[in-house]
Structures are given as structure tokens and as C-alpha cells.
Chain A
């Protein structure tokens, strides 16, 4: 009895991880299409630009949240804390939290809220793709 469960677990775990990866890839592919439409010279997302988006003190929105790090902390592998409500936020780095960036509606909803709070405007498809690319490598 234990053997089949173990065997099943061995198969299911990587499959679940793969499913998460492919869901994330599909979201990234969507952003790539949009980025290309906005700028024909677009070639690929950049983890470096994503990191800059994450760390820059934009101070364009709510004074309590000058940067993404105000809630997600300097280290995306750590748990964060919402600067407005004090609530704990699970890590946003994919290595620490493999479910990240796998539900399109949630990702879009959160970019909408968080970019407004930090930059005072929407993020572009390029910025969104860069950000996810950075977090996927963290």
C-alpha cells in the first residue's frame, strides 16, 4: 500500500510543479504578445529590469508604499507585511512559493492594485513580464 502511494507522490509532485510552471509560462507569453504590440522592438523580458521595478523608490502613489519592497520586503524569498494593514504576505519569489503567478485573474488584479499604490499608475505589459521573470528566478 505504501509503495503505490510513494510512487504516486513521486509522479504527482513534479507534475504539479510542471502545471504551475506552464500556467506561469502562459501568462508570460500573453504579456510578451502585448509587449510586442506596444513596441515592435521588444525581444525578451529582463530579470534585471524586473528587479529594478521591484526595488526602485517610485513614490508615485500612496506615501506608505514608495516601493514594492514596502510590503514584499527587500528579499522576495521572505514573508512580507502589508504596510497599510499589517497583514502577513506569503513570499513572492517562486522558489519560496511555487504557486506564485499561476492564476491570471489574481495576477492582473494584484498588478492593478499594487502598481497604483506604488507608481500611481498601471504597469505596462513589459513591466509585468519583467517582474514575473525576476521573481521566477528568485
Chain B
């Protein structure tokens, strides 16, 4: 009995990441969807480690050249959501592979600079210059269900 439970547990941990391989848990919090989805899609927190999100929430007044600052209570609530669902906390789904590339103390701010992203997105210049695309971070331009966490739709 005990043996088969252990065997099952081992099997589960072995299968479940495989099952979730092509899926990245989407943002479900309405505040995060609204405030972090105003200028671009609300990126899934699993693509960056918690310390990256902490740094980003500290620096919202200069967010890639934008002033994305918010009242303190909202900043706090969003920070809590992003860090609780960060890639190094949840450790599952497709974005988990991204965590392998993040250096132990590093606080990367761009998902699109992760080597796993780069590996899958080696396209000709004209693809990136397409007026529908504009920039690498415009995931929904190519992945129609990006906001639902699906990136293998093409």
C-alpha cells in the first residue's frame, strides 16, 4: 500500500509538469488584469521570478520609459498577486522552463530577453516590423489565446 502511494506520487510529479507543459496559468485577478493590462496584455506572472516583480513594482514611475505608477494600496495588492504566482514560486507550466535561465540573484525585467523566449522566436526582421506586431512583447499579435495562457496555438 505504502509503496504504491509513493510510486503514484512519483508518477504524478513526473507527469503533471508534462501535462501542463504548453500552458501558463493566466492572470485571474481583476485588478491586475485592469491595471497591468491597460497598455499591453497582462503578462503571466510565471514568466518572471518574484524578485523581478518586486523590483518592477518598486520602479513603476519609470516603467520602460512610462509612468505606470498607481496608488499605494493598488501597488501592494498587485505586488502580492504577482509574487505569489511568480515562476520561482509556482514552478509549473510552460514558463517554468524560463526559470532555468534566470541567474540566482538576477532580477530580469523582460520576458522577451529570456533565452527560452529567444530560442523560440528567431524570426526575420520583417516579422517584428509588421505593423500588427510593433514589438516582441505583443504576444497576442501572434498567439491569439496568449491572455488565456496558451502559446502553442500556431
Contact = CB atoms under 8 A, between A and B. Distances in A.
Interface of A: 62, 81-87, 112-113, 116-117
Nearest to A83: B134
B135 A84 contact: yes
Contacts of A87: 39-41, 138, 140
Contacts of B99: none
Contact of A113 (B66, B133, B141): B66
Nearest to A62: B65
Of listed A81, A85, A112, residue having the most chain B CB within 10 A: A85
Interface of B: 39-41, 65-68, 132-135, 137-138, 140-141
Contacts of A62: 65
Contacts of B40: 82, 85-87
Which of the listed residues A83, A86, A113, A116 has the most CB atoms from chain B within 10 Å of its own CB?
Answer: A86
B69 to A, nearest CB: 9
Nearest to B34: A106
Given A62-B65, A113-B66, A82 B39 contact: yes
A82 B67 CA distance: 15
B39 A84 contact: yes
A86 B133 contact: yes
Contacts of B65: 62
B135 A85 contact: yes
B67 A113 contact: yes
B39 A85 contact: yes
